[in-house]
Structures are given as structure tokens and as C-alpha cells.
Amino acid sequence: MGESKKKPSSPPPSHPLDPTDTGAGPAGAGSLDDLLSREELDTLSTLQIVDLIASRMPPRHRALLDLVYLRDRIAGMEEMNDQARTALEKLDAIVERLRAPALRVGTLLQIEPPDRAHVCLGGTDYVCRVDPELPLRDLETGQRVLCNEAFAVVQTLGFDQGGPIVRIDEILPDGRLRIGQEAGMNSLVLRRSSLLAKEKLKPGLEVRLDANQRVALEVMGTGRRIERALETVTELPWSAVGGQAAAVKAIRDTIELPLLHRALFERFQHTVPKGFLLHGPPGCGKTLLGKATAYNLRRELRARTGVDHPEFFLHVKGPEILNMWVGESERQVRDLFAQCRERAREGALAFLFIDEAESILGTRRGGRFNSILSTLVPMFCTEMDGLEPLQNVVVILASNRPDLIDPAILRPGRIDRKIKVSRPDAEGARAIYEIYLPASLPLAEPPADLARAVTEAHFARVPANQFLEIVFRSGRKDFLYRGDLASGALIAAVVARAKSLAIQRSLADASAGADGAGTLLTRDDLLLALRREYEENDLFPPSDITEDWLKLTDFDPENVIKLTPVRPAPPRDQTTNGVV
């Protein structure tokens, strides 16, 4: 510590050490003990004692100047000691604070009158006293609070900004929240924080918890719920579904009749089917039928009863549910049914449509790689007919491989109806062509004539239309023609290709104008598009593997030895008997 730079102050004129003082002093007086007792002397500072000694010396004594010098030195030392003492006191205070125990951060659960608080610290509950200087009105449920070494609440820290996010399963009558077993957490019952005391919550919402997982702090919405619901169901009357009259009738008998004639079904004590399976070759309209079911059921109910029930259509692609994390796929299945039940309770027509159902509801087998299916199928069965009934919810499964779906799913009481969606025959194909060739298109002929012409070319049983050669186990050989493998998707592709040909022709023809007003969609466009669609094989397996082709046919694999594509002849642009 440096020496003090303070200049010594000169004593006042009456100072006892002033050498110019000519006043008569008590020269020759006795010692200091004659003036003051030892106890009184101990109370004086060094400077005061020096001044007292000087006052006892005769005036103009030669030692007075020495005493003045000594007094200035003592004054500097005392000032330095005062500075050092102040610095040490500050250092001691800092060391004392560093050595003090850490304050604990807890979650305030509730106030316990008159002056105590129920606090959770590190997963343990404590009833703590509150610092009298901390107003109780500043304490709110869910806040973080500081507790000292005596576990007394001394300060509030506001609400935590982080914490785990969970989904509400149930709202208890007293307002508490029950959350389910997800993300590795056990089922818990939570309090509401002061922020959520008056908030209107409902099952399915996600909330953020405090660090101790005792209080719900904030509503996070439904972020983890994957949005699969169609906002608006496409207007798709039954007349827009061509070539599937038998399937449409089976669906209407299964779904519409129990809702339109509820009293009649109750009289016969006939249970309403919970769901049905649409199975058949790919591209034949299974997904289209599912969407049409939702739209037409709402329209029929509105026409018969006068009450408009909004539809809630959940469209799920089977592989979307599969997840590598343990329990996540099962959670998504529970969530799908929870959404449907929630909307059904609100009065909506709830539909759960699962496409490619065999991918998640396949036959259970042992082994490591089938562990997901071994838990998904029981979860689906439990949701279908578990303790919580499935009311006013229609489950629709679609698959082109129903043989791969677990029998427990397809048993009566779960999926009650199995509806075959077959390939369209010639009459059905003509109806589909007419749907895709409306009068609003620039057509060279009436839509009915074009549809009839391309259908005849499509279903003609001539060698040019041979597509597959079949060898049966008995040795018999047969052929499948193009019409035998027709589908709604293929017909839509043919019409789309014909439109592309017409557009290309219009672009090449300068006289057609910029908007192609002079170009029409002709019969030749459709026939050429039909031939190219089968030649390029976009919708069929690219190889000769029999198993791949059997998936597209209705033949029993036990009776078929081989399926071989018939190689097309070199392409020709002319027609023979109306067949390309």
C-alpha cells in the first residue's frame, strides 16, 4: 500500500505545538497520569496523546519542532491505517459472500397461510417460511423462488422459460391436468400455474412444465400432432366414381343406412359397423371411394335430417406412422383415434382413412425386425374395441394386399366389411372415360362417342391387345388383354397423355393461334395415347418377375406358374379394325 500523499495540515494558532505561541504553559507540570486516568488515556488516539504531551511542555521549547514533525508522521500513518482497514473490511465482506452457502431455486406450488409457502426443491416438497420483507402478493403458483440455507423464501425469479412439453390426456373436475405416458415420462397429475388458472384447456393440447415437472406453465398448442386432416373434403358425388357400382352400393349399405335409419337398426338391435376394408388392385379408386364416402354421407344426412354435420377426414399413409423411436409409432396411432373421438364428440362425422394399411397392420411375426408391427397391431385393436368405445367414428382401410393384414384386424367386430374394388369392365371403363372427357374440353366428337371408341379399342380381344401370357400349373396357357388390366388411374393417364399430344400438335401448328383455339382433342389422340401408355409400361412392373405381376391380378398364386409380358410389335401409326 503506497504512502499517503496528503499534505500535513498546519496547526491552528492556538495549537499547543505552535512554536510561536507565547502563552504561558504549565511548564514543569507532572506526568500524564496526573491529568487523566489510565482508562481515559487508552481512549485517546496517538495524535491526541502527542498533543497532550506538547501542551505540558514549556513555551518555545526546542523539542516542540520535533513534536510537530512527529505529529505529521503519525497523522500520515493513521490515515494509511484507515485506508488499509477499509480495504480489509471490503475484502472480508467479499470472502464472506463467497464462503456463504448457495441459494436454492425451487418451484412455488402454493401459499400456506399465514406466512409459509409450499415449495418443490429438487423433486422434494418443503413448507418454507417467507421473508417478511417479501410481500405474499408477489408470490404466484409456478414461479421460481430463491431459498436460503434455512430454506426460507427470500426472492422471486419469475416463471421459468424452459421445461419439458407434454400433451394433456384429461382435464380433472378440479381443474388439474392428467398427462399420459410419453417421452419416457410416467402418467402424472399436474397443477395449473397462475398463468393458466383461467385458461380454457382441453385434451390434446400441449403444455410446458416447470423443471420439477409439477406445474403446467404455458400452452404450446398442438405442435407435436402431425396435421393429417383434410381441411375441406373434395366435392365428390357418387356419380363421379365410375366403374365401381358394386363397391359404391356396398359402402352405402355399410355406412349410410345405419345413420339414416338409426331407429330401425336399434329395433333389430343391429350394431353399426366400425369400419370396412377396401381391397383390390392398385389404381382402381380405393382412395377415391374413401373421400366420396365422407362427402356423400354429410350430404345425405343434411338432406334427410336437416342437420349439417361437418366431416372430419383423417387421411393417413401407412408408412408415415412408422418411426424408429420406441413407442412413437404407437403414440401416433393413439393420437389418430384421440383426434377422431374428440371431433366425434363435437358432432362431426369422423373418418379415419388408412392407405397402404398392410404396411403398419401386417401379420405379426417373431424376430427383431417385426417388433414394431408386433406392438402396432395390438395398439390398433385396443383402440378399435378397448375400454373407451369407438362411437361415431368410421375406420376405412385400403390395401391391394389384404392377405398381408393381420387377421386380428379383419375379424368381425373391428373391420366388419370387406369390400372388393375390382378392375372396371368395358361398361365401367366407358363411364370413367366419360368422366375424364367432359363437354367442357375442346373435343372433336361428342364425349360419349369418343369414350365408346377408345373403350372398344381398349377392351378388344385381338392379338394386338394381348398383354400377359399365363402358364397355369395344369399346363394350360392363356392371355390377359389390355382391358383385363385396366384401372381408373390408367384411364386417367391415357386421357392426360392424349391432352398432351393435342397441346403439342397445337404448338406445332401456326394456324391454331396462340391459345390453340383451332385445335381439338381427337379420337386418334386417344388411341395413340392408349398404345403408348401400355408400351411404356409406366403403371406396370418393369421386369418379368412373376411375383410382381401376381400383385396386379386376381389369380391364385398356387395355380399360376408363370406370368410373362407379351412383347409389343413394332409401333404402327395406322389402325386396324379400330385397334391400334
pLDDT at 54 over 50: yes
- Residue 371 is which amino acid? S
Same fold, 104-159 and 229-420: no
For the record, the C-alpha cell of 456 comes out as 372398344
User: Mean pLDDT of all residues in the chain?
Assistant: 80
CB 161 within 8 A of CB 194: no
**Span 104-159 CATH architecture:** Beta Barrel (2.40)
β-bridge partners, 483 = none
For the record, the C-alpha cell of 47 comes out as 495524535
Q: How far apart are CA 300 and CA 245, in angstroms?
A: 18
CATH class of 165-221: mainly beta
First CA to last CA distance, the chain = 110
CB 214 within 8 A of CB 109: yes
Q: Which pLDDT belongs to residue 25?
A: 45
Predicted TM-score of the model (pTM): 0.62
**Span 229-420 CATH architecture:** 3-Layer(aba) Sandwich (3.40)
Residue range 128-163, pLDDT digits in tens: 999 988 888 889 999 999 998 888 999 999 898 888
Q: How far apart are CA 419 and CA 397, in angstroms?
A: 10
For the record, the C-alpha cell of 568 comes out as 409389343
26 preceded by a cis bond (ω within 30 of 0):
no
The answer to which of 37-41, 104-108, 277-281, 543-547 has the lowest mean pLDDT is 543-547
Residue range 502-517, pLDDT digits in tens: 888 888 876 655 555 6
Torsional sign, CA 404, 410, 415, 419: positive
CB 480 within 8 A of CB 470: yes
Q: Which pLDDT belongs to residue 192?
A: 92
**Alpha helices in 161-317, H assignment, sequence order:** 245-251, 257-260, 262-267, 286-305
Q: What is the mean pLDDT of residues 5-27?
A: 43
Residue range 169-190, pLDDT digits in tens: 888 888 899 887 654 567 788 9
pLDDT at 361 over 50: yes
The phi, psi pair for 432, rounded to 5°, reads: -70, -40
Distances (CA, A) of 259 to 186, 238, 265, 317, 346: 40, 18, 9, 27, 17
Domain boundaries, the chain: 1-100, 104-159, 165-221, 229-420, 426-565
